C-alpha cells in the first residue's frame, strides 16, 4: 500500500482556487471565435511561454531532477490524456447540451476513485462513497432544468462520459507524478505534448486556428493564462499533497464556480434548485475532507 500525505489545508485551498479558475473555461470556450479543437490547442500553445518561464525560474529539487528522465513517458501520457479530454469535451459541447456535457464530464471522480483503489490501494470507505454521491447529486441539481434527454444527442452524451474517463486518467497520472516531479515540469511537458497532439486534429477538422479580432485573442489568452497556467497549475501542485480520489471530488467545485461566473458575466440566473445543488456540492466536499480515506 502506498503512502499519501495527509490533506493539507493549503492544498485544499489551492485545489478550490484551481477549480474556480478552470470553472471559467466553459464560458471562454463559448466566447471563442474559433472551433472547439482549435480553442483547445490555443489554450495549451499560448500557455507554453509562461510555463517555460515558470520551469526555468523554479529549479527542481535534487530528488525531482534525478528522477525526471524516468518520468518523461508519464508526463507524455498525462499530456495525451489532457489533450484527449479537451478535444472530446469541446466536441461534446457542440453535439449535446452544455449541461449534459458538464454533468457527464464530472463523473470523473467515480473513475478516479476506482482507479486509485485498484492502482494506488487508496482506501474507499462508505463515508467517502456517501460524500461523493451527495456532491454528484448537487452537480445534477446545479445543472437543473438545462439537463435533457434527446436521442439525436446521444453521441455528444457518450463523448461526455469519455471526457470523464480521459480526465480521470490525467488526474491519476499527475497524482503519481507529483510525488517525484515538480509542478512546473509536469505542466510544461504535458502542455507541450497536448498542443502537439491537438494541432493536427484542429487542422484536419478544418477549423480556423486564429481568431479574427483582438477580443478573440483576449479570450484565448485568458483561457491559457487563467484557466490553464493558474487553474490547472494549482490543481497539479495540490495533487502532491492530497489523495487522488479526494482531489477529484473537490474538483466538483468547478461547475459551481462556472455557474457563479456565468451568473455574473453572462447574466445567467441561478434558481433555487441551483443554489441547493451548489450547497450540496460544498457539503459533499466537506464530508470527503472528514472521511477516513485521506491516507491510503
* pLDDT value at residue 292: 45
Cα–Cα distance for residue pair 74/189, rounded to 1 Å: 10
- Number of helical (H) and strand (E) elements in the chain, helices listed first: 15, 0
Q: Does residue 252 lie in a domain region?
A: yes
Q: Does residue 63 lie in a domain region?
A: yes
Q: Does residue 4 lie in a domain region?
A: no
Asked if pLDDT for residue 89 goes beyond 90, the answer is no
Residue range(s) defining the domain that contains residue 268: 9-294
Provide mean pLDDT across the span 209-228. 95
Q: Does residue 195 lie in a domain region?
A: yes
Q: What is the pLDDT of residues 254-292, one digit of tens each?
A: 777 777 777 777 666 777 777 888 788 888 877 876 764
What is the overall mean pLDDT for the chain? Answer: 80
On the CB side of 108, CA atoms within 13 Å amount to 32
Residue 113: name the closest of 100, 101, 125 by CA. Answer: 125
pLDDT band (50, 70, 90) for residue 150: low
Q: Does residue 78 lie in a domain region?
A: yes
Residue for grid cell 485573442: 217
Cβ neighbours for 143, distance < 8 A, ≥ 6 positions apart: 99, 100, 102, 103, 255, 277
Angle among Cα 187, 188, 191 to the nearest 5 degrees reads 75
Number of structural domains the chain divides into:
1
Q: What is the pLDDT of residues 106-147, one digit of tens each?
A: 778 878 877 777 776 767 777 778 888 888 888 777 766 555
Residue 43: name the closest of 236, 223, 186 by CA. Answer: 223
Query: How much of the chain, in percent, has pLDDT values that exceed 90?
Result: 28
Q: Does residue 2 lie in a domain region?
A: no
Q: Does residue 1 lie in a domain region?
A: no
Category of 295 on φ-ψ map: left (φ > 0), alpha (ψ -120 to 50) or beta: beta
- Cell numbers of 40, please? 483547445
Among the listed ranges 190-194, 225-229, 288-292, which one has the minimum average pLDDT value? 288-292
Amino acid at each position: 500500500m502506498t503512502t499519501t500525505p495527509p490533506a493539507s489545508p493549503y492544498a485544499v485551498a489551492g485545489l478550490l482556487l484551481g477549480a474556480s479558475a478552470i470553472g471559467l473555461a466553459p464560458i471562454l470556450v463559448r466566447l471563442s471565435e474559433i472551433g472547439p479543437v482549435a480553442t483547445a490547442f490555443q489554450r495549451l500553445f499560448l500557455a507554453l511561454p509562461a510555463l517555460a518561464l515558470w520551469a526555468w525560474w523554479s529549479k527542481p529539487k535534487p530528488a525531482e531532477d534525478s528522477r525526471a528522465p524516468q518520468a518523461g513517458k508519464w508526463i507524455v501520457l498525462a499530456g495525451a490524456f489532457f489533450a484527449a479530454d479537451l478535444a472530446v469535451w469541446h466536441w461534446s459541447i457542440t453535439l449535446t447540451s452544455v449541461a449534459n456535457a458538464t454533468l457527464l464530464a464530472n463523473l470523473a471522480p467515480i473513475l478516479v476513485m476506482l482507479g486509485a483503489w485498484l492502482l494506488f490501494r487508496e482506501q474507499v470507505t462508505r463515508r467517502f462513497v456517501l460524500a461523493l454521491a451527495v456532491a454528484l447529486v448537487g452537480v445534477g441539481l446545479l445543472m437543473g432544468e438545462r439537463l435533457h434527454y434527446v436521442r439525436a444527442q446521444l453521441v455528444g452524451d457518450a463523448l461526455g462520459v469519455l471526457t470523464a474517463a480521459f480526465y480521470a486518467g490525467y488526474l491519476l497520472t499527475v497524482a503519481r507524478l507529483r510525488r517525484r516531479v515538480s509542478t512546473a515540469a509536469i505542466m510544461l511537458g504535458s502542455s507541450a505534448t497536448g498542443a502537439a497532439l491537438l494541432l493536427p486534429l484542429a487542422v484536419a477538422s478544418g477549423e480556423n486556428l486564429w481568431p479574427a479580432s483582438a477580443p478573440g485573442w483576449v479570450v484565448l489568452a485568458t483561457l491559457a493564462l487563467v484557466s490553464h497556467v493558474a487553474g490547472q497549475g494549482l490543481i497539479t501542485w495540490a495533487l502532491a499533497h492530497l489523495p487522488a480520489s479526494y482531489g477529484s471530488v473537490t474538483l466538483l467545485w468547478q461547475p459551481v464556480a462556472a455557474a457563479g461566473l456565468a451568473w455574473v458575466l453572462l447574466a445567467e440566473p441561478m434558481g433555487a434548485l441551483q443554489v441547493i445543488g451548489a450547497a450540496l456540492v460544498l457539503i459533499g466536499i466537506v464530508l470527503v475532507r472528514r472521511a477516513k480515506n485521506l491516507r491510503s
